[in-house]
Amino acid sequence: MNTPLPQVCERCGKVSPSSAIGLAPGASVTLEGILVVSPCPYCGGQARIPEGRYESVRAIVEAIRSPEVTRAELERLRAIAKGVSKGTTDDQQATNQVDELSAPLARVWSAFGTGQAQLLAAVISIILMLYFQHGAEEETARERILSQQTVQIEQRIFEELQKTQQSALAAKKPTKPKAPTRKSPQRQIRAANRSARREEAAWKRRQKPRGD
């Protein structure tokens, strides 16, 4: 299964995984002077993949196998990636912050680049969920990671990325308003008769003479 490349919608500005192109495990590609567009899963507008060099998730899968990489460092890199994708952190600030991390994660940042910042944040979130959930100790998480082959970890990440995209598509679909309940002709007649009887009874009560 391939890693989807990030795309930016020209209408709503949101970043999402592209359905037009993806990378095979361990592959990379450089987009320059190439226009790749596909529908935005959020608003249906036209989304484009920014120019730049793209790496598959294998770079980060290999990095998390290193004993230098901790949960705290992964969370820090995710925060940097989120800052870049939201525009609150510029490229130079991100580079300076990444330089304070371990060498494996610095290489991950170089591989992904700012153009894939949101995708990187999503991948790290998935890794934290899969291997560091429920406050798992570093050693326990590392044992889980090392017990699986690289392609197995990639497969699990791809599956979670697909779930994210499917959730976005489902959220986009408008819910159909419920049709008003229509009564059958027989029920309408019975309701009209009941209403007529109530009105007749009320009229008779008003006609009764009142006592002195």
Instruction: Note the pLDDT tens digit of each residue in 162-178.
Output: 776 666 656 655 555 55
Residues 7 and 48: their CA atoms lie apart, in Å, by 5
Most confident by average pLDDT, 63-67, 184-188, 204-208: 63-67
Q: What's the rounded Cα separation, in Å, for the pair 197 and 160?
A: 63
Evaluate if residue 81 carries a pLDDT over 90: yes
Over residues 33-52, the pLDDT tens digits come to 778 888 988 898 999 887 77
Map residue 27 onto helix, strand or coil: coil
Residue 184 to residues 4, 55, 195, Cα–Cα distance (Å): 53, 63, 17
- The residue-averaged pLDDT of 70-78 equals 94
Q: What is the DSSP letter of 8?
A: E
Q: Where are the domains of the chain?
A: 3-172
Residue 170: the pLDDT is: 66
* Range 147-172 average pLDDT: 74
